[in-house]
Amino acid sequence: DAGVIQSPRHEVTEMGQEVTLRCKPISGHNSLFWYRQTMMRGLELLIYFNNNVPIDDSGMPEDRFSAKMPNASFSTLKIQPSEPRDSAVYFCASSLGGLTQETQYFGPGTRLLVL
Amino acid sequence: GENVEQHPSTLSVQEGDSAVIKCTYSDSASNYFPWYKQELGKRPQLIIDIRSNVGEKKDQRIAVTLNKTAKHFSLHITETQPEDSAVYFCANGGGGNKLTFGTGTQLKVEL
């Protein structure tokens, strides 16, 4: 298995531009998570999906952030418009998503820099 | 909501010594306690986990202990090696599939 796949791996953009981050979870995993990691705030959960349905988006910073999961093998996190304070590493993770807690497997992350 | 406190934030040990990292949590419904290791520039990776029906779990040089009454759990690394240098995160989960992560411990193993 290729593991969780994220693209792009690096993104440099200018303030005000739209940014779209992509994630392909591990095949057969039913839960997908988007995290943001910064030195100041650590590892923050932004949103997670079970069976393609958003379950908890309380971590999404504001309306500029949106996430979708149109099918079991693909999810996007969009920032529009982007701001310098959005600069961070964004991780996608997936897990089996059964009745009990299961291991979350992280993707390699997208390093975002907003100038 | 859930809250996880992790200590210390940095830890420096000599090669061969033991390292201990502690976490406390507030949600009594928590029943899953994983530990992740993140090397510089890499993704977090699970190194060991424990569920609430077990008090201790060991995997070679790594062990985790859980005290549900006191709501704290700890990571123990024995015979530390330079490759153990990384940031370690504790986490906990209860209902649902969501995990709450601690703030991380930067472990440095010195030669």
Report the distance separating Cα B12 and Cα B48, nearest Å. 21
State the distance between the two ends of chain A, measured CA to CA, in whole angstroms: 36
Report the distance separating Cα A62 and Cα A39, nearest Å. 20
The pLDDT tens digits of the residues spanning A32-90 come to 999 999 988 889 999 999 999 999 999 998 899 999 999 999 999 999 999 999 999 99
The tens place of each residue's pLDDT in chain B, 111 residues long, gives 468 999 999 999 999 999 999 999 998 888 999 999 999 999 999 999 998 888 999 999 999 999 999 999 999 999 999 999 999 999 998 767 789 999 999 999 999
A contacts of B101 (beta carbons < 8 Å) = 42-43, 45
Contact B49 A109 (CB under 8 A): no
